[in-house]
Amino acid sequence: MGNPAGEDLEEKTVVFGITGGIAAYKAPMIVRGLKRLSLDVHVVTTDSAGYFVTPLVLQTLSGRPVLTEMFSEVPGSSYEIDHIALADQADLFLVAPATADFLAKLAHGIADDLLSCSILATKAPVLVCPSMNVNMLSNPATRDNIETLKRRGFHVLEPASGELACGWEGAGRLPEPDRIVSEVKMLLSRHDLSGINILITSGPTCEDIDPVRYITNRSTGKMGGAIVEAACLRGARVTVISGPVGIDYAPWATLIDARSAGEMLDAVRENLAGCDVLIMAAAVADYTPQMYSQNKIKKGEKMTHLELDSTPDILSTIRPLKESRIFVGFAAETDNLKTYAQDKMIRKGLDMIVANRVGEKGSGFASETNSGVVLSQEGVLYDFEHMAKETLAHKILDLVKDKL
């Protein structure tokens, strides 16, 4: 299988450098997140970092001694020359938080402690996460240093904005640990879909009755979200057109909001030209109210029935624009799964259809897992039973890749 969450990362080593910024208090959570990906984590701290986070916490969570000293005579680690061994062993260096001081060191090739020396000696990619007071960050010296590092191929996760520990408001916050761990996962993943543009629809659509009420369905966007993340991790350029959902899509995707079936159709039409693959994971409403009331329909007003129109059929409408693109559809069925899905695939000229069972526990809307079958014009490609949506997302992308 292609690239399920964590599978490719098991044998990989991350050297996690922590420098002396206040946000170092988030470092233990980052270690936890990295370990959850089954990564081998070696923590290296600067002297200053020791004021903000204790080696005991980091050592316990990483399962390895924390290294700080360059000139250690005590055999505290298994390495002969620590900085070279770390440099060689790393699949990735992560520095979070990266102080203004440490960025300056990296930008100028200063190697006066174990962390800076190891980074100077490594051939591995380096991800730095600057975090500091807003004025330190906007200082031309710091900006120049960050730009220099970017130019040299360092990966920089820019700080978030908000309330800062120093009392100032603005840019400088260390992104949340989950965000940093995602970036590590992305950098270490196998980018077997790089250069491919994938357009994905996701979530439900909402068909408004009045400013308060609407018709929708039970889709949560979880399946679409899993495909978006998997495709991004595998290096594809991803645009997601999403109905209203309560989930966050992978940060690397371009997100386009579309509330109704009509808006989703417009967005698909506008974005189709640049895509190689279209994956329609959204549960588009089949019906929309004939009339929309600008004002809220009052409770006392007699409303015994709702006149409905069919919504535009997105796949049928864009079918003439398909050309050599791969079109993947989804079908959610309670019964006759294969027959209905196959019929839909043929009617809509799809290359592939993912039919998932709804109305049973552990499959379909809102569930973490899915059951069903993937069909192509050639027949059944894949049967899946209570499979994690993340894993299924990678499987679908494997099947798409085979058709590219």
The set of catalytic residues is: 166
Q: How far is the CB of 162 from ligand FMN (least distance, A)?
A: 14
Q: How far is the CB of 319 from ligand FMN (least distance, A)?
A: 55
Q: Report d(CA 198, CA 231) in Å as an integer.
A: 8
Q: Report d(CA 89, CA 68) in Å as an integer.
A: 17
Q: How far is the CB of 84 from ligand FMN (least distance, A)?
A: 20
Q: Report d(CA 239, CA 252) in Å as an integer.
A: 9
Q: How far is the CB of 172 from ligand FMN (least distance, A)?
A: 7
Q: Report d(CA 36, CA 339) in Å as an integer.
A: 40
Give whichever of 100 and 275 is closer to ligand FMN, judged by the CB atom.
100
Q: Which helix (H) or strand (E) holds 111?
A: none
Give whichever of 131 and 356 is closer to ligand FMN, judged by the CB atom.
131
Helix intervals (H) in 234-367: 261-272, 314-318, 337-347
Give whichever of 44 and 326 is closer to ligand FMN, judged by the CB atom.
44
Q: 3-state DSSP helix/strand/coil percent for the chain, to nearest 5?
A: 35, 25, 40
Give whichever of 51 and 292 is closer to ligand FMN, judged by the CB atom.
51
Give whichever of 166 and 212 is closer to ligand FMN, judged by the CB atom.
166
Give whichever of 165 and 297 is closer to ligand FMN, judged by the CB atom.
165
Interacting residues toward ligand FMN by CB under 6 A? 19-23, 46, 48-49, 99-102, 131-132, 136
Q: Which helix (H) or strand (E) holds 146?
A: helix 140-151
What is the DSSP annotation of 52-86?
TS-HHHHHHHHTSPPB--SS--S--SS-SSHHHHH
Q: Report d(CA 178, CA 250) in Å as an integer.
A: 11
Burial class (CB in 10 A: 0-12, 13-18, 19+), 158: exposed
Q: Report d(CA 101, CA 75) in Å as an integer.
A: 29
What is the DSSP annotation of 150-183?
HHTT-EE-PPEEEE-TTS-EEEEEPPPHHHHHHH
Give whichever of 23 and 119 is closer to ligand FMN, judged by the CB atom.
23
Q: How far is the CB of 93 from ligand FMN (least distance, A)?
A: 15
Give whichever of 26 and 357 is closer to ligand FMN, judged by the CB atom.
26
Please give the backbone phi and psi of residue 172, each rounded to the nearest 5 degrees, phi first.
145, -10
Chain-centroid distance, C-alpha 152: 25
Q: How far is the CB of 142 from ligand FMN (least distance, A)?
A: 8
Q: Report d(CA 243, CA 133) in Å as an integer.
A: 37
Q: How far is the CB of 35 from ligand FMN (least distance, A)?
A: 23
SS3 label, residue 209 = coil
Q: Report d(CA 374, CA 331) in Å as an integer.
A: 10
Q: Name beta bridge partners: 197.
A: 237
Q: How far is the CB of 46 from ligand FMN (least distance, A)?
A: 3
Crossing angle of helices 114-121 and 100-108, rounded to 10°: 40
